[in-house]
């Protein structure tokens, strides 16, 4: 099985119901989309994330009613350095969708998804703990893995693998 090149052309990706629904809702919210190795990725504007999730959740054709995962990738020293990654899942259609939001290192904060999925709580705390991305309106944004007096955010790329000596 040879690798097929990823599709990034928005016109081609409009045939996917997820992209079409998001574009119909607010075309300026979708900054980029990509179909890579059969997995669809949609980049969203930071302010649009929560509403976009509601659109995807309530659309009767899509029914992305569950949040599978929240994580983050640090592209330091590139700016915007953070990419917060959301995996949405539909328990009825059995499909995954990946949403991504780019955040700069200067003001790395984004709306929390806990009002939609209370289960986002721990995932967002983990991203906050290990990357230092802040989630607005999160009910309890404190460290979850590291001790509370820990300095720094270990999964950032400028944090050495063996820690500061």
Partner 1 sequence: MAHMTPTPVLDPSQDQTMVLNMGPQHPSTHGVLRLLLEVDGETIVRIMPDIGYLHTGIEKTCEAKFYQQVVPMTDRIDYLCPMTNNLAYCLAVEKLLGMEIPPRGQWLRVLLNELTRINSHLVWLGTHAMDIGAMTVFLYCFREREDVLRLFEAVSGQRMMTSYFRIGGVALEPPLGWFDRVKKFLARFPGNIDEYENLLTNNPIFVNRLKGVAYLSAEDAVALCATGPTLRASGVDVDLRRDLPYTGYENFQFKVPTSTVGDVYARYLVRVAELRESQKICTQALEGMPEGPSKADAPKVVLPDREKMKTQMEALIYHFKIVTEGFTVPEGEVYMPIESPRGEMGYYVVSDGTAKPYRVHMRSPSFANLQSLRTMCEGRLIADVVAAIGSIDIVLGDCDR
Instruction: Report the interface residues with partner 1, using CB under 8 A.
Output: 1-3, 6, 36-37, 39, 41, 65-69, 71, 73-74, 85, 87, 89, 91, 94, 96, 98, 117-123, 126, 130, 142-148, 154-155, 159, 161
Residues belonging to the chain: 165
Which lies closer to partner 1 via its Cβ, residue 12 or residue 118?
118
Which lies closer to partner 1 via its Cβ, residue 27 or residue 77?
77
> What's the number of CA atoms in the CB half-sphere (13 Å) around residue 117?
24
Distance CA 80, CA 61 (A): 33
Which lies closer to partner 1 via its Cβ, residue 26 or residue 144?
144
Choose among 134, 130, 133, 135: nearest CA to 159: 130
Helix axis angle for 49-58 and 17-25, nearest 10°, is: 120
Q: How far is the CB of 90 from partner 1 (least distance, A)?
A: 10
Q: How far is the CB of 143 from partner 1 (least distance, A)?
A: 5
Which lies closer to partner 1 via its Cβ, residue 21 or residue 66?
66
Bridging pattern class, strands 95-103 and 82-90: antiparallel
């Amino acid at each position: 099985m040879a690798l097929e090149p990823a599709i990034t052309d928005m016109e081609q990706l409009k045939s996917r119901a997820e992209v079409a629904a998001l574009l119909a809702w607010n075309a300026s919210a979708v900054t980029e989309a990509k179909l890579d190795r059969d997995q669809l990725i949609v980049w969203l504007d930071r302010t649009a994330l929560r509403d976009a999730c509601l659109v995807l959740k309530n659309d009767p054709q899509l029914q992305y009613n569950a949040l599978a995962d929240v994580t983050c990738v640090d592209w330091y020293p590139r700016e915007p350095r953070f990419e917060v990654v959301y995996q949405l899942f539909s328990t009825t259609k059995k499909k995954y969708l990946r949403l991504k939001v780019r955040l700069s290192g200067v003001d790395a904060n984004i709306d929390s998804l806990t009002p939609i999925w209370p289960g986002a709580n721990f995932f967002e705390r983990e991203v906050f703990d290990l990357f230092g991305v802040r989630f607005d309106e999160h009910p309890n944004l404190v460290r979850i893995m590291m001790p509370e007096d820990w300095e720094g955010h270990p999964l950032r790329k400028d944090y050495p693998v063996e820690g500061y000596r």
